[in-house]
Structure 1
């Protein structure tokens, strides 16, 4: 394996060779060498047989000549003909051929590339295959009838009776259009959302329609509409995919890993919804190029597929305002910037107030023993912002350089006081959360069949909390920082129209620091851990559209330096089309993860953002490993869509500290696993402008802690049953959506009242997660309308209402001993109450 310096030196030598090709003009050189020089200078590809050019020498043409002049020169000096196809491919054949020999070339009409191993069937039973240049030949008979076929293309039949044997003829094969790909590209859940043949969901925000409760294509809010994806506390910072925790998901923004995903402590996504061009979501069967996660992958790309015109847009809603601009610096480069900031500095809207009530709702807590309320008075200041920058530069016809930068920051100040039995207690808290990231990416198209991508990235995350208890004159400082650096190398190779493979190397270094400082009494603790990993990746892709088989198989081999440990992670995706309407899909993967979030104490960071990142030590904090297998049946016909998926998932190496226990396991430190068996169901019908769908998810999710007194019990994130429905109407520029979500209550642990002395209480619990909260039910609404002026300026107005019926849904419940009254307090957390939002946007 090449070290970085060796790689750069080899890379330099590779290009140096081309510079040494210059020869004296008067010397004759091999024709093959001249052809190679022309290919490099004019970006073309020559197709020929070795026999036609072998041994031919001549003086090279002048560099100043055009491509056509050079071809004319070569034709004059040799006994060869040069057929130029759109200045991209040039076929070479002899001017005089045996009158009894017919020759030809076979090309694809998709990209004009030669087709290798095309089957040539003659009426006398002879069978011939084309070479890598698409060339074939055979002896001419009285009347040869050719049948030319290849997987993925429509078969052609040709009679040779009228063919000129002096020149090779050309055959262009048309691609065979099957319904397999169409099934995977039609809208699912809403316009702008599709399901790909590899099992992933793809969201195009700029083509996004509407979903209940959403007026913007927020990536993390949208993905919660997908069966199997939930957030038990309505937070985009706590997304649970098939029973996993939020930190087990891999979130990438233009190749940069993001450790902070939510503003407003999870109520708003940090990713600007007016920026992203493509969002890919994998619940299972992800590419081997994605590592460091045992659950889902969310990959966000803000690089457009095509070079778009200059654009500017600005918008405001009842939480934040944002701007977006794209400016073409030249025909080959552009810059793209975006910025978003909360408007809480200027106004407190009804939406803002509901969000704050949701985050800080436990200011009234019930005294469990006396059944009376304990009132906490709070004064809060909060703001957030995010900004991005992208620079794209095309270099020549084969290279492209991309630079991406992102910054995210949240600030919170809270002054809180309480009075119980004439005792006063007050706290002043400051909490800062931020994530910075940068990525430099270079891509080179060596030719039509080979591409190389290299990117170098950094992600820095910081969570800082200062807590001051005024009456006790105590100061507590807590800090959690993450630095993630790496380099990715990926090579893509197209072998033929049905098979391609990718290979690559990844290096990653993650450093995490945790700091705690207390004044009065004095205490200081700081830990720093660094982990470096290397990964070799190989993937093969096979796509046979005639037999309707798509097979993607990959292997990722990780090496962890610190532990001297190898971990193999195979991935597989198989898609088989029974017919144009029915597909069967099998997905499987093994994955691992070295970092995770834990909760040391529930009161850390004054209970608002109490999770901190740590690194595995391969003993008390194991490397998490997952295995997952799913079988999916996908049916589509006459605007009906049916999607049924059964899955099995097991994650080993989890710690109790990472699961957010607030019962008897809160201070227990042990390791175990969780195991999920489930079904996801979606049925959808489109009728003209109306789209409606119904989804249902079932999962049976259990912990296994063999060293604990209760070795098996329900997972904290289990939702046994979830049902969602939506009705969407879209016509012209008007869109409206109404939907509802119902789920069985999450598990909770009740106290054992018979064993608690209320005069001097000590919490005693029943078996963990022995019961459940009440069911969750919510109805949401949203609508948008846009119009365009004669000058091309577009305006868009949006309205949404979450929880229209204002239902009070309990989403968590736990118990604690009050330090003020020495009694048991019951702490209940509820979902958002009725929350309106209004947005306005202008674009041109």
Structure 2
């Protein structure tokens, strides 16, 4: 376990050089063979690309990394190290030729597993997951490369209620994850109030997901980190137009010059004028048991026909190479959901109509500047601003009461980072971050008159130091870091050490060790289940160091990976403890719903993946087990199962990939979530309320779902592709209960259960044209 204070900085290198001797040119394939024998690696290449290439061989005394660097600089080929033992060779794209004095370096970002679950997903040597949507293969139940849906295929990551706004990483809550889009912190991650990712699936270039061992440059997010990067690739101008049964959108990258390009994207739902079968399924799922569908008589209300519900997202990004050493990047994003609800009825006084609204939006901008001073020193400076707003107005049709609620977050940050490469395989990084976060909560009721206004601001200064070392043979790596946070309002210092270590024993078997401490000052809480029409009931709150404490986490992990050409096995074991949580942040709907208590949770578990490649067909199966328990010292009993504990989860898929045709069939099964049952469902005059058993004393029924996806791609012209995808979620139409709570039925004077069901059988069709 990581000690609370300390800095782990390791500096060890022994570089051996031999004198250079005269040699003759040799075929590149011969040089490949010599390197394979010397280091136990294997080159993957296209015969035609290397057949006629001959160069002087590198110095035999050079380490593997320098030999690859040597080969890349003397050929028009690109070399990428995969899993420490495989080196893929491909033609370099035609790009701007750098000045002669500028050294071109090959990136040796160690990847332990190249094809994890499907093409386009890899597991890095340090345990992080890398998703490249443009290369992403097919996954069961998905028609698009939805980032937040895709990441739920990874063992240890799931959604307790099927939404992308409630993603749980190793038992944590959604707000304990740090979501970044091009450096901008995002407080809204979903459309359709959680069923669709808010990030355009055709735009993203790279997504990095950390469950543990994150870089010290990431603050906040005590559970996980999801860093999304888009528009960074220096490619020719491209355009993509796509649509499914929910939304339509496009994205365009325009190359303005050899040094500048501009990217823009837009996506909008069609739900306000086209009610597809997919929309109806989504509508029934997300609005069940809310003000929208369960007012007083459990009957759905009529919507207005004019833009009653829609969502959109917009992004723009400008990249400019300033001179030979500088880069400028400007990125903006806007996300919005809007629900307009009309209720009408006929009373003794005539026709009555009331209108309620719910709006959710997130806007962000990031300014990024990078300077490469020389081949060893790089400085990065960035400034971002993110503004989130959730507001609702509810007009009660039974009386004249109007309730207005608003929750807003303003988050601004400055980051400066300097990277210094001490040796070819050892770098030191240092930086400073300033984060100012303000949270505001307003509530107003006209009858009876009530007004509440609350605004708090927290400012955090952080100093970061990080060391990244790799052994000359690339089989061992160690990254250590320390983040020192100073929270001005509380006059409080928090030290957060980070550790990532990996070692490959024989090119097939690899061990990783990760550990970290993190903290966060902003979290989500639920005051009342009926807040914000009961649709998005969570509101952001900020720590005050007393009633709302700072959340702090400690986590340690050891993992093992074994692979050969056909098999892959990963086996990860972890333990995590998070302090400073509150009952209002855990979405209780039992006796703890109105009780304000602070405590912690501890979770430990194992995540196993077995994957087999049969050529055109490959399959995988994963199993995860975790034990997740709360500890609220002021409550009796203080310890009981977490609302987000999934004790056992099994998922698997069979994928067929042949040329332009792909299909995937998969299933997932897991034990039901915890529920709290009443001692008796019969109420008495002496006891009109519900008396519960101990919290989370029972479990819901097990969850089971089968999903299917099929896609085919056509070459429509020289530089254009057309792709059609079809998917079905819950192919067997299994009625899975994902939540249950109890309420008082005054007519029968009893406690009745209210179930929330997962999506029924839901088809979707996607069409995409890329030019």
Query: What is the SS of the residue equivalent to 1:668?
Result: coil
Distance 2:149 2:685 in 1: 43
Q: Report matched runs for 1:432-451 at 5 Å.
A: 432-451=359-378
Counterpart check, 1:565 vs 2:492: yes
Kindly provide the CA deviation profile for residues 18-68 of structure 1, in whole angstroms up to 9, marking residues without a partner as x.
xxxxxxxxxxxxxxxxxxxxxxxxxxxxxxxxxxxxxxxxxxxxxxxxxxx
Distance 1:211 1:794 in 2: 20
Query: What is the SS of the residue equivalent to 2:299?
Result: strand
Distance 2:502 2:207 in 1: 22
Kindly provide the CA deviation profile for residues 577-612 of structure 1, in whole angstroms up to 9, marking residues without a partner as x.
111100000010000000100001111112111100
Distance 2:666 2:19 in 1: 63
Instruction: Give the gaps of 5 or more residues in structure 2.
Output: 1-17, 26-58, 69-73, 87-110
Cα RMSD after superposing both structures = 2.7
Deviation at 1:817, TM superposition (A): 2.6
Distance 1:638 1:104 in 2: 36
| 2:528 aligned partner | 601
| 1:299 aligned partner | 227
1:530 to 444, 454, 457: 457
Counterpart check, 1:774 vs 2:701: yes
Distance 2:490 2:608 in 1: 42
| 1:196 aligned partner | 124
2:301 to 378, 383, 387: 378
| 2:254 aligned partner | 327
Query: What is the SS of the residue equivalent to 1:495?
Result: strand
**8 Å contact kept, 2:601–2:642:** yes
Deviation at 1:417, TM superposition (A): 7.3
Instruction: Give the gaps of 5 or more residues in structure 1.
Output: 1-101, 110-145, 156-169, 368-372
Deviation at 1:759, TM superposition (A): 9.3
| 1:692 aligned partner | 619
Distance 2:248 2:676 in 1: 42
**8 Å contact kept, 1:426–1:471:** no
Deviation at 1:842, TM superposition (A): 1.0
Deviation at 1:514, TM superposition (A): 0.4
The 1:762–1:688 alpha-carbon spacing in structure 2 relative to 1, beyond 3 Å, is same
| 1:228 aligned partner | 156
| 2:588 aligned partner | 661
Query: What is the SS of the residue equivalent to 1:375?
Result: coil
Query: What is the SS of the residue equivalent to 1:272?
Result: coil
Deviation at 1:184, TM superposition (A): 1.5
Q: Report matched runs for 1:349-368 at 5 Å.
A: 349-362=276-289
Distance 1:652 1:471 in 2: 43
1:387 to 311, 314, 321: 314
Query: What is the SS of the residue equivalent to 2:151?
Result: helix
2:84 to 180, 184, 192: 180
Distance 2:747 2:411 in 1: 42
Deviation at 1:180, TM superposition (A): 2.1
The 1:361–1:148 alpha-carbon spacing in structure 2 relative to 1, beyond 3 Å, is closer
Distance 2:116 2:21 in 1: 42
The 1:220–1:177 alpha-carbon spacing in structure 2 relative to 1, beyond 3 Å, is closer
The 1:820–1:539 alpha-carbon spacing in structure 2 relative to 1, beyond 3 Å, is farther
> TM-score scaled to structure 1, two decimals?
0.77
**8 Å contact kept, 2:212–2:515:** yes
> TM-score scaled to structure 2, two decimals?
0.84
| 1:473 aligned partner | 400
Q: Report matched runs for 1:145-544 at 5 Å.
A: 148-150=61-63, 152=65, 180=84, 182=86, 184-305=112-233, 307-362=234-289, 374-380=297-303, 381-416=308-343, 428-544=355-471
Which has the larger displacement, 792-801 or 556-565? 792-801
**8 Å contact kept, 2:683–2:750:** no
**8 Å contact kept, 2:82–2:114:** no
Query: What is the SS of the residue equivalent to 2:112?
Result: helix
| 2:43 aligned partner | none
**8 Å contact kept, 2:85–2:507:** no
Kindly provide the CA deviation profile for residues 177-229 of structure 1, in whole angstroms up to 9, marking residues without a partner as x.
79526462421001000000111100000001110001211110000000000
**8 Å contact kept, 2:409–2:438:** yes
The 1:418–1:721 alpha-carbon spacing in structure 2 relative to 1, beyond 3 Å, is farther
Distance 2:758 2:610 in 1: 27
Query: What is the SS of the residue equivalent to 2:281?
Result: helix
Deviation at 1:791, TM superposition (A): 3.7
The 1:192–1:366 alpha-carbon spacing in structure 2 relative to 1, beyond 3 Å, is closer
**8 Å contact kept, 2:682–2:750:** no
**8 Å contact kept, 1:510–1:530:** yes
The 1:579–1:736 alpha-carbon spacing in structure 2 relative to 1, beyond 3 Å, is same
| 1:38 aligned partner | none
| 1:167 aligned partner | none
Counterpart check, 1:830 vs 2:757: yes
**8 Å contact kept, 1:549–1:575:** yes
Distance 1:254 1:601 in 2: 34
Kindly provide the CA deviation profile for residues 452-478 of structure 1, in whole angstroms up to 9, marking residues without a partner as x.
111010000000010001331011000
The 1:570–1:642 alpha-carbon spacing in structure 2 relative to 1, beyond 3 Å, is same
**8 Å contact kept, 1:806–1:834:** yes
Q: Report matched runs for 1:55-70 at 5 Å.
A: none
Q: Report matched runs for 1:633-782 at 5 Å.
A: 633-753=560-680, 756-757=683-684, 761-782=688-709
Deviation at 1:754, TM superposition (A): 7.1
The 1:817–1:414 alpha-carbon spacing in structure 2 relative to 1, beyond 3 Å, is farther
Query: What is the SS of the residue equivalent to 1:606?
Result: helix
Deviation at 1:757, TM superposition (A): 2.0
Distance 2:432 2:292 in 1: 53
Deviation at 1:419, TM superposition (A): 12
| 2:716 aligned partner | 789
Kindly provide the CA deviation profile for residues 612-665 of structure 1, in whole angstroms up to 9, marking residues without a partner as x.
001100011100000001110100013100000010000000000000000000
**8 Å contact kept, 1:153–1:176:** no
Kindly provide the CA deviation profile for residues 464-513 of structure 1, in whole angstroms up to 9, marking residues without a partner as x.
01000133101100000000001100111111122111110000000111
The 1:303–1:501 alpha-carbon spacing in structure 2 relative to 1, beyond 3 Å, is farther
The 1:181–1:412 alpha-carbon spacing in structure 2 relative to 1, beyond 3 Å, is farther
Q: Identify the structure with bigger relative contact order (alpha carbons < 8 Å, sequence gap 6+).
A: 2
Number of corresponding residues: 679
The 1:770–1:226 alpha-carbon spacing in structure 2 relative to 1, beyond 3 Å, is same
**8 Å contact kept, 1:153–1:175:** no
Kindly provide the CA deviation profile for residues 341-382 of structure 1, in whole angstroms up to 9, marking residues without a partner as x.
001122100000000000122379999xxxxx9432312321
**8 Å contact kept, 2:63–2:472:** no
Distance 2:649 2:559 in 1: 19
